[in-house]
Amino acid sequence: DSGVTQTPKHLITATGQRVTLRCSPRSGDLSVYWYQQSLDQGLQFLIQYYNGEERAKGNILERFSAQQFPDLHSELNLSSLELGDSALYFCASSTGGNSYNEQFFGPGTRLTVL
Amino acid sequence: DQQVKQNSPSLSVQEGRISILNCDYTNSMFDYFLWYKKYPAEGPTFLISISSIKDKNEDGRFTVFLNKSAKHLSLHIVPSQPGDSAVYFCAASAPVQGAQKLVFGQGTRLTINP
């Protein structure tokens, strides 16, 4: 158990819909990262928040947005969903603000868009 | 543009022997390299890292070697154990616009045979 929790575990929705994925980091960790893993693909970095502020941005689509709240939990919002958005979405946290710090990953949310 | 490549999708090794996982990269700005291990239905877990100023880092049965001139790194596991069977991701971090971004390879599935 990494100490990072993600909800929900599974999500099935239709094209055009909007969903919100939630992540609670390990106690004391200030950084939260979001990753997308599509079928047979590596992990694609989406975005990082550090202590409530956006720290780094990866290949995140404009239809996607995220935020980190004062209690440090984070939400990833995916809108106007397309079939290609079906993937595993991982959240990770770390103590420091650099991506080379050891990151602790949650179990992921599997999103299926029908 | 795959900046981090793991050219072997899978690798099979006998228990007790050495496992060697390889990773190539193209971006000379990468300054940290990491390996993560992933079991099914779980998030990745950090294994070992190396700074670009070093050429070797060892932690128990795991050793990472970095060859900057060849833009190549490898993970050695010796001796290999059945519990090492997992997907291994190579990752590299580079400073981009004041932040560090992590780029993952596509993973190599390691199977340790008894």
3-class state of residue A32 by DSSP: strand
Say what the alpha-carbon torsion angle A40, B88, B7, A38 is, to the nearest 10 degrees. 20
Average pLDDT over residues B5-26: 97
For tokens 């397309």, name the residue: A82
Structure tokens at B83: 């519990």
Residues of A within 8 A of B107 (CB-CB) are 42
Contact A44, A59 (CB under 8 A): yes
CA closest to A40 among chain B residues: B106
Interface test with B, best of A30, A100, A101, A103 (most B CBs within 10 A): A100
CB atoms A43 and B42 under 8 Å: no
Residues of B within 8 A of A105 (CB-CB) are 36, 43-45
Task: Give pLDDT, residue B68.
Answer: 96
Structure tokens at B91: 């990752």
Task: Give pLDDT, residue B11.
Answer: 97
pLDDT surpassing 90 at residue A59: no
B98 vs chain A: nearest CA distance in angstroms? 8
pLDDT surpassing 90 at residue A88: yes
Name the DSSP letter for residue A83.
G
Is any Cβ of chain A less than 8 angstroms from the Cβ of B92?
A: no
Q: Tell me the DSSP string of B25-65.
A: E--TT--EEEEEEE-TTS--EEEEEEETT-SEEEETTEEEE
Task: Give pLDDT, residue B55.
Answer: 96
Contact A47, A34 (CB under 8 A): yes
pLDDT surpassing 90 at residue A4: yes
Instruction: Give the confidence band of B1 by pLDDT, cuts at 50, 70, 90.
Output: low
Q: Which tens digit of pLDDT belongs to each residue from A63-75?
A: 999 999 999 999 9
Q: Which tens digit of pLDDT belongs to each residue from B35-61?
A: 999 999 899 999 999 999 999 999 999
